[in-house]
């Protein structure tokens, strides 16, 4: 992967998780996704529309606070001329509404597609 594309992927990953942790308006987060179809897959959780994403995000804001997504490692891989993959080793920390600490380590994979508006997330896999 060329350095320019690697830099783009790094910036998108950092920007997305920063906005997620800051509880940004859902429209800002939705702008990272490919509008003509995307999927978030975390085992039994499948999100495949902007409305479903908004509902998931609202529930997370109710159930968790002090959220921190820490990217421990990020590898970007060019899959073809229009698709690249970000492999993200993630450490997630939060507190529940009952003040219980949550710590999760996992790997997140994003397949991103080139669009006229830049790279957009088409597939988002969470492995815990």
* pLDDT tens-digit map of 20-74: 999 999 999 999 999 999 999 999 999 999 999 999 999 999 999 999 999 999 9
Listed residue (82, 121, 127, 85) closest to 108, CA to CA: 127
- Work out whether the CA dihedral 109, 64, 33, 49 comes out positive or negative: positive
Contact 109, 86 (CB under 8 A): yes
Backbone angles phi, psi at 15, to 5 degrees: -65, -45
pLDDT at 72: 97
- Domains annotated for the chain, with CATH where assigned, are 3-127 (3.10.450.50)
Q: pTM here?
A: 0.94
Residue 37 Cα to chain centre, angstroms: 15
Q: Which residues of 13-42 are buried (b: 16+ CB within 10 A; e: fewer)?
A: beebbebbbeeeebeebeebbbeeebbbee
pLDDT at 1: 52
Identify the H or E element spanning 10. Answer: helix 3-21
Contact 85, 112 (CB under 8 A): yes
Neighbours of 61 (CB within 10 A): 12
């Amino acid at each position: 992967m060329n350095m320019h594309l690697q830099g783009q992927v790094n910036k998108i990953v950092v920007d997305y998780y920063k906005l997620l942790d800051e509880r940004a308006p859902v429209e800002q987060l939705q702008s990272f996704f490919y509008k003509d179809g995307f999927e978030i897959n975390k085992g039994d959780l499948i999100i495949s529309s902007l409305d479903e994403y908004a509902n998931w995000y609202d529930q997370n804001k109710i159930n968790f606070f002090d959220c921190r997504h820490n990217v421990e490692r990020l590898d970007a891989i060019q899959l073809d001329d229009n698709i690249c993959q970000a492999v993200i080793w993630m450490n997630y920390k939060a507190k529940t509404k009952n003040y219980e600490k949550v710590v999760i380590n996992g790997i997140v994979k994003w397949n991103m597609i080139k669009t006229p508006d830049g790279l957009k997330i088409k597939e988002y896999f969470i492995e815990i």
